[in-house]
Structure 1
Amino acid sequence: MHDTADPLDAPDPLGFLVIGECVADIVRLPHEADRVHPGGSPANVAYGLARLGRCSTLLTQLGPDDGGRLIADHLTSAGVVLRTDGSIAPTPSASVALDAGGRPAYTFDITWTLSAVVPERPPHHVHTGSIAAVMEPGAATVVAAVESLRTTATVSYDPNVRPALMGDHATAVRRVERCVALSDVVKASDEDLDWLYPGRSPESVAAEWLATGGPALVLVTRGADGALAFTPGARAVVGAPRTEVVDTVGAGDAFMSGALHALAAHGLLGSAGRAGLHAIDPVTVTDVLRHAAASAALTVARAGANPPDARELHAALPRV
């Protein structure tokens, strides 16, 4: 068993490569002017990892426009290294309408045509998901990159389902399951699972995903009801920390970056950590959930996808 992970541990020896889209989130509230926030699930994860002191590179597309410049400045301010394929397509955007509980509903204007880019150095861990892994033609590039890199890197995946962009349901499920089988860690929300597998419990879906021989760990977020974690031999649960919710934009991405941060602190990522990850014990799983839930709670307490830095996360953990 590993010691409890400390977010203020030594400088990051790992290299994280995140592959996926950036999106300019246009947040619309009643009786208020529109607010534009840097977003996109993979971009949020890359930003969250960098905020937590991890070496984070994002392979993405950004247009030569105001949205692209806003997002690039935002990401690099945290230390994210940007790699783009030279596309001149407009930066994707999403109109985000928030309900009374701060929950977002999205309307998208997105194209995803990512072409292959060779990383400057082999990463220790690769994360992908969301639109990037299902929207063609770029999704084929993403899957090919993960297939080639997973021989020397651990892989995580978040389907982050956006029904309006998923296309045919059966095809979308097959694409998601292909990515699951390539991954060591999978995170999904209960809403993702409800769309992918209507009427099925998180436990049954997690068991099916674990049986593919890919994931060692499946994480399921449940909003205010906390989160679950599944391994081949165990199940863990953590409640959602009490917090004043401003909005839930980026909460799942902060959960993901917090989980990856904790797994790295436990030495369970990268080719050298894969065996340990696939033998992860229940106490360590619970600690990973605590870090992830605290990261998400800090994010929902402020506007936009604004995940914590390492000191904020460290200070929040005693309250989880």
Structure 2
Amino acid sequence: MLTVIGEALVDEVLSDTAPKRSHPGGSPLNVAVGVARLGRPVQFVGRYGTDDYGKLIEGHLRENSVLTPLPPDDLPTSVATAVLDPAGGARYTFDLQWRLPSLAAALPRLLDGTTMLHTGSIAAMLRPGADAVLRAVERARPSATITYDPNCRPSIITDVSYAREQAEKFVALADVVKASDEDLAWLYPQERPQDAARRWLSLGPALVAVTSGSKGAWAVAAAGEAHASVPPVTVVDTVGAGDSFMSALLVSLMDLELDGGARRPELARISAADLGAVLDFAARAAAITVSRAGANPPSRAELS
């Protein structure tokens, strides 16, 4: 079982060429849906309200066979407004609430059977919820593979020094880290992304993967480096591309039976060949997602 802890929200997508679209989103939620579509059991631990947007999120998770062990609360459901540029790139603004008051009490049953725990994005940065997420990761680590994607949002977390410190806390606990080259450039403006990724690797993860948009993706591990190119595709928009990459990366590692705390030594010894295959699978998932509107990750059949 894979457990995802993080924010759920509704994306309102605006562009000059189409009417406004509203659909469920949030990086961790998108990862959970992507994992489910690739055929792995997954539960989503996050918050959303009892309002209409919350019902939209709850229905989306249910339709995609994502388990939802925490009920909705009385706060408004969070909203992200994505403004698309002519090339399909998205610029976000947010109106959100992030707190998980019931997480600590629910953790024992939530982690029962969890072999991989994923978090990141706003959930691991914005307090008070971020503190609860960090405690959950610390508790899960002995028995579960920990995965992390900073997915930085400078419009929400404006203090880069705080963001860097917070990211490094999670990197040091993680087995698998994925970031974009834009994340690394914001967090470490004086370093090349390659140097920042290698320094993160030295903090403890088994692998650090970096996405570079149309330039593809690359990763570093103890065995060396691997690269994956992006299949040719017509881009509709880039919403959810990194999340599809993340979910496919996780599923590919699970397919290799490298999930679970007991498999940590084997994951640390992942070969360059297996690392390349994992990256290629993830890059193909992201390419399918950018070929259609919104955060719409592929199924296992589409990737096959």
**Which amino acid in structure 2 is aligned with residue 163 of structure 1?**
P
* Equivalent position amino acid for 1:203 in 2: Q
User: Is 1:291 aligned with 2:281?
Assistant: yes
Q: Deviations over 1:132-163 (max 9, x none)?
A: 00100000000000000011000000000000
Q: 1:75 aligns to what SS in structure 2?
A: helix
CA distance, structure 2, for counterparts of residue 210 and residue 180 of structure 1: 8
1:188 partnered with 2:188: no
Quick one: which amino acid aligns to residue 234 of structure 1?
G
Pick from 220, 231, 234: which aligns with 1:244? Answer: 234
> Which of 253, 278, 281 does residue 271 from structure 2 map onto?
281
298-307 or 23-32, which moves further after superposition? 23-32
User: Does the 8 Å CA contact 2:145/2:260 hold for their aligned counterparts?
Assistant: yes
Q: Does 1:110 align with 2:110?
A: no
CA offsets 1:89-134 (integer angstroms, 9 cap, x no match):
1111011100111100001001101122323424110000000001
1:219 aligns to 2:209 (yes or no) = yes
Aligned to 2:201: 210
Quick check: 1:62–1:84 contact (8 Å CA) kept in 2?
Answer: no
SS at match of 1:107: strand
Partner of 2:221: 231
Deviates more, 1:19-28 or 1:70-79: 70-79
- The corresponding residue for 1:149 is 140
CA contact (8 A) 1:98 1:105 kept: yes
Task: State the partner residue of 1:51.
Answer: 37
- How far 1:84 sits from its partner (Å)? 2.4
Task: Name the structure 2 match of 1:7.
Answer: none
Is the aligned partner of 1:39 residue 2:25?
Answer: yes
State the secondary structure of the residue aligned to 1:36.
strand
* Matching residue of 2:119: 128
1:267/1:31 CA distance change after superposition, 3 Å: closer
Q: What is the TM-score of this pair, normalised by structure 1?
A: 0.91
Match of 2:5 in 1: 19
CA offset at residue 75 of structure 1?
1.2
Give the letter for the 1:152 counterpart.
S
CA distance in 1, matches of 2:190, 2:239: 26
Residue 85 of structure 1 and its aligned partner are, at CA, apart by 5.9
Distance (whole Å) between structure 2 residues aligned to residue 259 and residue 193 of structure 1? 19
Letter in structure 1 aligned against 2:268? H
User: In the comparison of the two structures, how many residue pairs are matched?
Assistant: 299
Q: Shift of residue 272 of structure 1?
A: 3.3
Paired residues of 1:60 and 1:85 also in contact (CA < 8 A): no
Stretch deviating more after TM superposition (70-79 or 17-26): 70-79
- Structure 1 runs, 4 residues or longer, greater than 3 Å off: none
Shift of 1:206: 1.3
* Pairwise CA distance, 1:270: 1.1
The partner residue of 1:258 within 240, 243, 248 is 248
Say which SS state the counterpart of residue 73 (structure 1) adopts.
helix
- In 2 relative to 1, CA 31–204 (structure 1 residues): closer, same or farther, beyond 3 Å? closer
Gaps of 5+ in 1: 1-14, 315-320
Q: Alpha carbon RMSD of aligned pairs, Å? A: 1.1
Partner of 2:54: 68
Paired amino acid for 1:286: G
Aligned twin of 1:270: 260
Q: Unpaired segments of 5 or more residues in structure 2?
A: none
Residues 223 and 269 of structure 2 are in contact (CA less than 8 Å); yes or no, is this contact kept in structure 1? no
Q: Does 1:87 align with 2:35?
A: no
How many Å apart are 1:86 and its aligned residue?
4.8
Indicate the SS of the match to 1:83.
Answer: coil
C-alpha contact (below 8 Å) 1:60/1:83 kept by paired residues:
no
Identity %: 47
Offset, 1:31: 4.8
SS in 2 for 1:272: helix
Matches for 1:153-172 after TM superposition, within 5 Å:
153-172=144-163
Aligned residue type for 1:129: G
Give the TM-score taking structure 2 as reference length: 0.96
Name the amino acid aligned to 2:260: G
Task: Decide which moves more: 49-58 or 198-207.
Answer: 198-207
Letter paired with 2:50: P
Structure 1 residues 279 and 31 mapped into 2: Cα distance closer, same or farther (>3 Å)? Answer: closer
